[in-house]
């Protein structure tokens, strides 16, 4: 019994103690000022120091507590005032906006507002919630922004140390617009959008919002980094944070790098390094797209500002591609898009509702090895893409370029290949059409420099050469300019490869600038004075080895409508091919200028007639000082290689002397040979004031010019001669008379 009583007393005492402890715990909870005061209602005013603004009537005093603020249907402002605390802190902050704006701001005298590990939660809504205070994060934390909500951070400062990481989650948008951010810790973008606002008033300066913080970008759904979220970027700005694109392996993700409108003449620079990682490797590749977009561009216009990527991003690898939807993006580093710029790049989007705006990928002399493609399917607005060189120097795009066909009921997209003045942009990959739609892309070479095509291209949309631009085609197989027509404006085109054009390609020259061709050409629609074939390759040989006339014969028809075959290089047909100059066209060594030049025709590799001048075709020569002149040399000449049909010889800069116009060699320019010609040429224009003699010599044809005296001088000589004759006659008569008189006297 005693043992049982003792046990009972022990159990009773233990139960009593538990009851007391439980009662004390309940009492503590009920009397705890922190829990009772975590909800700010704003019943009386906006200040935190006002007791009646808190749910239990007592202002929050314990910085370890969290605060909840719930908005209403009217705009609400909650003010962290100095009377509450000039350096206040909360462990966490929950903001539940309703249908009107909710703003938490700092009053006069508040120097800091600290948020602990509880982070920030913003409820789902369709409005903007703002925290405008000198913000300090004391511990790593998560900011969860609900669907449809925008949470904006302003204030004079936003800072946290190197050991702190801020993770953005939730599908809503976080925008940062602090005027003095000094973060040195980490940033993780896990969901939704982080947007950088603009500060500095109308200047539109993009402030470095994350200081030196390392930025990790995860692909949990579509995640967006938006620079210039609040307006136009009007001054040169830099975003220098390092970015790691982290592939969580969840699939379907998209890294979307967006910017506000960049003003014309303004540069937004990305100076940090970009790298990649995935769930299995700290240096692994990502499998999701990186979307680049600058808003505010004008359709089919490249007049806005420029985004330049200058970081060494050799640590960025991807099995997907970089997609440029809008804007002007320049690769300012040899590894801006991965090692040797080897990431695949696409301009435009597949969605029919996507903007059909202009987008550009250029490079400051840094080669691009990745594959390129364009996709513009907007049915209402034509898309435009540009690839090329920004500035001077030389750059090579060695990847293939696929041109996705435009929407069948939309507008045909245009692809510009650009080389700036004194610049060279070479495209050595294959340019081809892709997709099943009906509208093909037109290719335009422009910029004032030299655009090179080196691939066996098959695109069918045609090629246009813009003003001042030289198109140099150097492919060794296939068709350098695809299968469409080539339209030459105020430009020059050089086709120098072994397989430059397909036999069906028509080359249309629409100005007198000229077309330099070293392979196949069909000339149609050519205005007077246009240079159809201008060989300016020094001592190099341009090989004409394909069928080249519109009718498919084996000769090269040059300049159907008063065009010019000219230059100072070597033309060497092969097989049975030759050169035929049609009526109304001209052969002009050097094509103008004051310097004399030589055009060489080499017949060593052809059994056909080397040069046939149809009736009505002509030659033009420039004459120089010291009996020098433009000349045509015929190498490996045999009788009949020059077929003449009463062709006119026209001249410029006429002067007295003897000028060798044609020379004939039995070899490659060493041994002169007989030409067997005695006629076939007539003197044309440009010889006024000279007596001209055309000389058919044994192995050359030359021109001798003797100046005709001026009319006034001739009249003077004639008059002087008449006076002399009269005087002589008078003297003779006088002499005769004297003699007669003498005879009579005698």
CB 348 within 8 Å of CB 404: yes
Does residue 456 or residue 50 have the better pLDDT?
50
Helix, strand, or coil (residue 286):
strand
What value does the mean pLDDT take over residues 308-324?
Answer: 94
User: Which structure tokens are listed for 115?
Assistant: 């948020």
Q: List residues bridging with 166 in a β-sheet.
A: 141, 187
Q: How many helices (DSSP H) and strands (DSSP E) are in the chain? A: 3, 61
Least confident of 26-35, 247-256, 364-373, 504-513: 26-35
pLDDT of residue 577: 74
pLDDT mean over 232-248: 82
Can you give the pLDDT at residue 716?
54
* H runs (alpha helix) in 235-393: none
Residues 386-425: tens digit of each pLDDT: 899 887 889 999 999 998 887 766 667 788 999 888 888 9
Please state the φ and ψ torsions of residue 377, each to the nearest 5 degrees.
Answer: -115, 10
Top pLDDT among 342 and 362 is at 342
pLDDT, average across residues 651-670: 96
Domain ranges of the chain: 536-708, 711-746
Is pLDDT at 543 greater than 50 in this prediction? no
* Statement: residue 132 has pLDDT above 70: yes
**Contact indicator for 640, 672 with CB cutoff of 8 Å:** no
Across the range 587-612, mean pLDDT stands at 83
State how far the Cα of 321 lies from the Cα of 357, in Å rounded to an integer: 19
So what's the pLDDT on residue 695?
97
Where is pLDDT greater, at 274 or 219? 274
The confidence score (pLDDT) of residue 221 equals 67
pTM for this prediction:
0.68
C-alpha torsion sign, points 333, 336, 338, 342: negative
Q: Is the pLDDT of residue 713 over 60?
A: no
Instruction: State yes or no: pLDDT of 312 exceeds 90.
Output: yes
Q: Taking residues 492-521, what's their average pLDDT? A: 43
Residue 733 has pLDDT above 50, yes or no: no
Report the pLDDT averaged over residues 95-122: 95
Strand ranges, E, within 636-707: 642-643, 647-652, 657-664, 681-683, 690-696, 700-707
The reported pLDDT for the residue numbered 364 is 86
Which tens digits make up the pLDDT trace of 567-586?
666 777 777 777 888 788 78
Between 43-47, 235-239, 361-365, the lowest mean confidence (pLDDT) is in 235-239
Predicted confidence (pLDDT) at residue 448 exceeds the cutoff of 90: no
Query: What are the distances in angstroms from CA 66 to CA 91, 133, 155, 158, 185?
Result: 5, 17, 21, 20, 23
DSSP conformation class of 604: T
Residues 162 and 139 sit within 8 Å (Cβ to Cβ) = no
Range in 29-33, 51-55, 325-329, 650-654 with the lowest mean pLDDT? 29-33
Helix (H) or strand (E) holding 424: strand 423-427
Residues 537-560 as b or e (16 or more Cβ within 10 Å = b): beeeebbbbbebbeeeebbbbbbb
- On average, the pLDDT of the chain sits at 77
| H/E stretch holding 30 | helix 2-31
pLDDT, greater one: 513 or 267: 267
What φ, ψ does residue 6 adopt, rounded to 5°?
Answer: -65, -45
The pLDDT assigned to 484 comes to 65
Q: What is the pLDDT of residue 237?
A: 79
| The token pair that represents 443 in the structure block | 């290719």
**Selected residue with higher pLDDT from 332 and 196:** 332
Q: Is 735 helix (H, G, I), strand (E, B) or coil?
A: helix
Total length of the chain: 746
Is residue 165 over pLDDT 90? Answer: yes
Minimum mean pLDDT range among 324-328, 330-334, 405-409: 405-409
Range in 210-224, 272-286, 483-497 the model is least confident about = 483-497
Mean pLDDT of the region 102-130: 95
Instruction: Identify the top-confidence range among 435-439, 530-534, 561-565.
Output: 435-439
Give the model's confidence band at 251: pLDDT under 50 very low, under 70 low, under 90 confident, else very high: low
From the number of C-beta atoms within 10 Å of its C-beta (0-12, 13-18, 19+), residue 606 rates as: buried
Q: How confident is the model at residue 298 (pLDDT cuts 50, 70, 90)?
A: very low
User: What's the pLDDT at 320?
Assistant: 93
Pairing of strands 700-707, 690-696: antiparallel
- Residue 80 is inside which H or E element, if any? strand 76-80
Distance of alpha carbon 570 from alpha carbon 684, whole angstroms: 26
Q: What percent of the chain has pLDDT over 90?
A: 37
Q: What is the pLDDT of residue 636?
A: 96
Q: Express as a percent the part of the chain with pLDDT over 70.
A: 69
């Amino acid at each position: 019994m005693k043992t049982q009583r003792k046990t009972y007393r022990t159990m009773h005492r233990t139960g009593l103690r538990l009851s007391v402890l439980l009662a004390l715990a309940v009492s503590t909870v009920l009397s705890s000022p922190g829990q009772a005061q975590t909800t700010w209602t704003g019943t009386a005013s906006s200040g935190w120091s006002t007791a009646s603004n808190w749910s239990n009537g007592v202002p929050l005093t314990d910085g370890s507590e969290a605060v909840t603020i719930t908005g209403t249907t009217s705009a609400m402002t909650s003010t962290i005032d100095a009377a509450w605390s000039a350096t206040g802190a909360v462990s966490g902050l929950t903001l539940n906006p309703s249908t009107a704006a909710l703003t938490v701001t700092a009053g006069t005298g508040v120097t800091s507002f600290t948020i602990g590990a509880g982070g920030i939660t913003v409820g789902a809504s369709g409005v903007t919630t703002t925290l405008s205070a000198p913000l300090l994060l004391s511990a790593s934390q998560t900011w969860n922004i609900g669907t449809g909500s925008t949470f904006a951070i302003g204030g004079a400062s936003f800072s946290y140390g190197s050991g702190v990481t801020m993770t953005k989650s939730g599908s809503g948008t976080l925008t940062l617009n602090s005027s003095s951010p000094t973060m040195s810790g980490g940033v993780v973008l896990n969901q939704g959008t982080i947007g950088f606002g603009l500060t500095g008033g109308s200047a539109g300066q993009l402030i470095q919002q994350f200081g030196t913080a390392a930025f990790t970008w995860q692909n949990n759904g579509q995640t967006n980094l938006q620079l210039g979220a609040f307006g136009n970027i009007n001054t040169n700005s830099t975003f220098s944070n390092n970015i790691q694109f982290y592939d969580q392996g969840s699939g379907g993700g998209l890294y979307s790098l967006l910017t506000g409108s960049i003003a014309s003449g303004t540069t937004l620079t990305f100076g940090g390094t970009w790298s990649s990682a995935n769930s299995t490797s700290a240096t692994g590749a990502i499998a999701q797209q990186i979307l680049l977009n600058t808003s505010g561009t004008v359709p089919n216009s490249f007049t806005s500002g420029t985004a330049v990527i200058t970081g060494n991003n050799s640590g960025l690898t991807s099995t997907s591609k970089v997609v440029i939807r809008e804007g002007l993006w320049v690769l300012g580093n040899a590894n801006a898009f991965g090692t040797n710029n080897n990431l695949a790049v696409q301009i435009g989007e597949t969605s029919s509702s996507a903007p059909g705006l202009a987008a550009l990928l250029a490079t400051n002399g840094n080669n691009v090895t990745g594959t390129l493609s364009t996709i513009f399917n907007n049915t209402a607005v034509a898309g435009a893409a540009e690839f090329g060189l920004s500035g001077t120097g030389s750059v090579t795009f060695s990847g293939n370029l696929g041109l996705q066909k435009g929407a069948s009921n939309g507008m045909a997209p245009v692809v510009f290949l650009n080389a700036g003045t004194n610049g060279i942009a070479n495209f050595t990959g294959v340019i081809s059409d892709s997709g099943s739609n009906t509208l093909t892309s037109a290719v335009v070479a422009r910029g004032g420099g030299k655009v090179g095509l080196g691939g066996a291209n098959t695109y069918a949309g045609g090629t246009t050469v813009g003003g001042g631009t030289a198109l140099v085609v150097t492919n060794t197989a296939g068709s350098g300019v695809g299968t469409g027509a080539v339209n030459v404006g105020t430009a020059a085109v050089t086709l120098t490869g072994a397989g430059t054009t397909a036999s069906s390609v028509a080359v249309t020259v629409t100005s007198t600038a000229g077309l330099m061709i070293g392979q196949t050409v069909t000339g149609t629609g050519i205005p007077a004075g246009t240079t159809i074939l201008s060989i300016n390759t020094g001592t190099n040989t341009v090989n004409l080895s394909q069928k080249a006339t519109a009718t498919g014969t084996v000769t090269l028809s040059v300049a159907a409508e008063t065009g010019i075959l000219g230059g100072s290089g070597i033309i060497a047909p092969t097989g049975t091919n030759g050169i035929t100059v049609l009526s109304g066209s001209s052969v002009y060594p050097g094509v103008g200028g004051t310097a004399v030049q030589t055009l060489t025709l080499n017949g060593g590799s052809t059994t056909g007639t080397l040069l046939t001048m149809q009736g009505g075709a002509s030659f033009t020569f420039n004459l120089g000082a010291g009996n020098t002149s433009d000349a045509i040399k015929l190498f490996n000449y045999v009788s009949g290689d020059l077929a003449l049909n009463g062709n006119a010889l026209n001249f410029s800069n006429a002067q007295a002397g003897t000028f060798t116009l044609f020379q004939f060699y039995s070899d490659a320019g060493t041994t002169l040979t007989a030409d067997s010609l005695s006629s076939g040429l007539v003197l044309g224009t440009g010889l006024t004031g000279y007596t001209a003699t055309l000389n058919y010599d044994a192995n050359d044809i030359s021109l001798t010019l003797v100046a005709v005296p001026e009319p006034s001088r001739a009249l003077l000589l004639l008059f002087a001669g008449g006076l002399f004759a009269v005087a002589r006659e008078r003297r003779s008569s006088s002499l005769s008379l004297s003699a007669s008189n003498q005879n009579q006297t005698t």
